[in-house]
Amino acid sequence: MEKLIYEKPVISKINAGMPSKFGLPVKQKIISEIDGLAISDLMEKFGSPVFVFSEKTIRETYSEAKRAFETRYPKVQFAWSYKTNYLDAICSIFHEEGSWAEVVSGFEFNKALSLGVNGSQILFNGPEKSEADLTLAIENNASIHIDHFDELYLLIETARKLNKKARVSIRINLDAGIYPIWDRFGFNYENGEAWNAINRIMLADNLELIGLHTHIGTYIMVGSAYAIAASKLANLYVAIHRKFDYWLKYIDLGGGFASKNTLKGAYMPGTETCPSFDDYAEAITNALISSEIPHENLPLLFLETGRAMIDDAGYLLTTTLANKRLNNGKNSLVIDAGVNLLFTSFWYNLGIFPSKETSSFTEETTIYGPLCMNIDVIRDTIVFPQIKVGDQLVIERVGAYNVSQWMQFINYRPNVVLIDLEGKTHIIRKRENLETFKSLEFNPKL
């Protein structure tokens, strides 16, 4: 007979009473494989911690979003938000699927060009565009989304110097019922600033106004906010035609769709509360098709969906380093992945799961990262089974922002691996090593 696994005894208070609204406790979910590949094999091959992306999930999510919009509206174009995850391999998958590029810096612009994206299929957002960046964008025929008046004047001057016409749009901030309003970006709709910017652009002979853009925020949990934003942009679109007898080419509603992660402090899990692509598509396309815009002049609709497109496809695999009982008696674990790799752990109660069957006994546990820093807490409280040193855990829905916002601190950033459609693995970003750092540093003492 196989020896039973030892489970340490724990005394805990029984909370008798009604089951919660989620019913009686369910069996602990485990994640033992990703796209058919065992977690233990992936970690043996690529080390711990390691980020793993599923190409299958990326493509499926993209198709789902595309279907939701294309079945409701005649002209739709997605543009991949580079800052959400700008690893070459990830961007290339989106471009293969037909996405344009949405960039917010000269660095991202050059990255898109290096991947073979045609400049005319790059949307250039953000408040940081130097004269060199604007020159690059004008010469590549990109859509420049102007953020503020100083940028507008710099652009007029830059285009004049190049003796070229710049294709532009403006970013608009507006009250869509989402507070606080992100009024630091773009021109305001309600106080007339956006209309003023539009008029100035129409007057500038070296600028061609081709679109209107807004990005109302991120993790927006109500489709109706997009309906408000879309109708406000539609009003401007019609007003431009009324005054200038000219139809713009596009309306861009930015990103901001919620992923299925659960925000800290949320009562219900994100999987239950976040709108689907269909919900967002319904709200946006309703607002556009029932606006004053004649159907034959409906604009191309751009979406710059970031987190909702990639979060589900990314996992972080990690190993348990220690089991500790805190002074107050609470259980805690130390794992080998910290908040420096998981920027989104500051916002979400990330889903963390064992990779194999463990004890059915669960208890409230704090999960710490390995950093020598008090803030390195991955989960403050999670009901978790007993875990041993060396046990492998899987953190799900970490595909958005973590591998772009991660910070090198105390240790190297790990391998990032892609599982392709055939189930083959590829390192798409190599683990850093001492040489990575030595090659950038200069020591005057040596």
Ligand X SMILES: *Cc1c(COP(=O)(O)O)cnc(C)c1O
Residue from 106, 256, 385, 399 in contact with ligand X (CB under 6 A): 256
| Residue count (the chain) | 446
The stretch near ligand X (CB under 6 A) out of 17-25, 78-86, 155-163, 277-285 is 78-86
| Closest approach of ligand X to the CB of residue 313, in Å | 14
Any contact of residue 314 with ligand X (CB under 6 A)? Answer: no
The stretch near ligand X (CB under 6 A) out of 17-25, 45-53, 250-258, 383-391 is 250-258
CA distance 124 to 142: 7
CB-CB contact of 93 with 58 (8 Å): yes
Any contact of residue 270 with ligand X (CB under 6 A)? Answer: no
Return the CA Rg of the chain: 25
Identity of the residue, 135 or 305, whose beta carbon is nearer to ligand X in the bound complex = 305
Any contact of residue 255 with ligand X (CB under 6 A)? Answer: yes
The stretch near ligand X (CB under 6 A) out of 10-18, 254-262, 380-388, 403-411 is 254-262
| Closest approach of ligand X to the CB of residue 88, in Å | 19
Site string for ligand X, 11-40 (x = CB under 6 A): ------------------------------
| Closest approach of ligand X to the CB of residue 349, in Å | 18
Q: Which of residues 109-138 bind ligand X (CB under 6 A)?
A: 125
| Closest approach of ligand X to the CB of residue 304, in Å | 4
| Closest approach of ligand X to the CB of residue 259, in Å | 8
Any contact of residue 311 with ligand X (CB under 6 A)? Answer: no
Any contact of residue 254 with ligand X (CB under 6 A)? Answer: yes
Any contact of residue 147 with ligand X (CB under 6 A)? Answer: no
| Closest approach of ligand X to the CB of residue 168, in Å | 15
The stretch near ligand X (CB under 6 A) out of 202-210, 248-256, 282-290, 352-360 is 248-256
Identity of the residue, 125 or 386, whose beta carbon is nearer to ligand X in the bound complex = 125
Residue from 102, 147, 193, 312 in contact with ligand X (CB under 6 A): 102
Any contact of residue 304 with ligand X (CB under 6 A)? Answer: yes
The stretch near ligand X (CB under 6 A) out of 18-26, 59-67, 76-84, 318-326 is 76-84
Identity of the residue, 285 or 355, whose beta carbon is nearer to ligand X in the bound complex = 285
Q: Determine the size of the site formed for ligand X (CB under 6 A).
A: 16
Identity of the residue, 51 or 124, whose beta carbon is nearer to ligand X in the bound complex = 124
Any contact of residue 104 with ligand X (CB under 6 A)? Answer: yes
Q: Which of residues 162-221 bind ligand X (CB under 6 A)?
A: 215, 218
Any contact of residue 85 with ligand X (CB under 6 A)? Answer: no
SS3 per-residue string spanning the chain: CCCCCCCCCCCCCCCCCCCECCECCCCCCCCCEECCEEHHHHHHHHCCCEEEEEHHHHHHHHHHHHHHHHCCCCCEEEEEEHHHCCCHHHHHHHHHHCCEEEECCHHHHHHHHHCCCCHHHEEECCCCCCHHHHHHHHHCCCEEEECCHHHHHHHHHHHHHHCCCEEEEEEEECCCCCCCCCCCCCEECCCCHHHHHHHHHHHCCCEEEEEEECCCCCCECCHHHHHHHHHHHHHHHHHHHHHHCCCCCEEECCCCECCCCCECCCCCCHHHHCCCHHHHHHHHHHHHHCCCCCHHHCCEEEECCCHHHHHHHEEEEEEEEEEEECCCCCEEEEECCCCCCCHHHHCECCCEEECCCCCCCEEEEEEECCCCCCCCEEEEEEEEECCCCCCEEEECCCCCCHHHHCCCECECCCCEEEECCCCCEEEEECCCCHHHHHCCCCCCCC
Give every CB contact of residue 438 below 8 A, 6+ residues apart in sequence. none
CB-CB contact of 119 with 140 (8 Å): yes
Identity of the residue, 99 or 125, whose beta carbon is nearer to ligand X in the bound complex = 125
The stretch near ligand X (CB under 6 A) out of 39-47, 251-259, 322-330, 437-445 is 251-259
Residue from 66, 111, 307, 379 in contact with ligand X (CB under 6 A): 307
CA distance 368 to 439: 32
Packing angle of the helix pair 131-139, 106-114 (nearest 10 deg): 30
Rounded to 5°, the CA angle 286-287-290 comes to 75
Residue from 119, 223, 306, 338 in contact with ligand X (CB under 6 A): 306
Binding residues for ligand X (CB under 6 A): 81, 83-84, 102, 104, 125, 215, 218, 254-257, 304-307
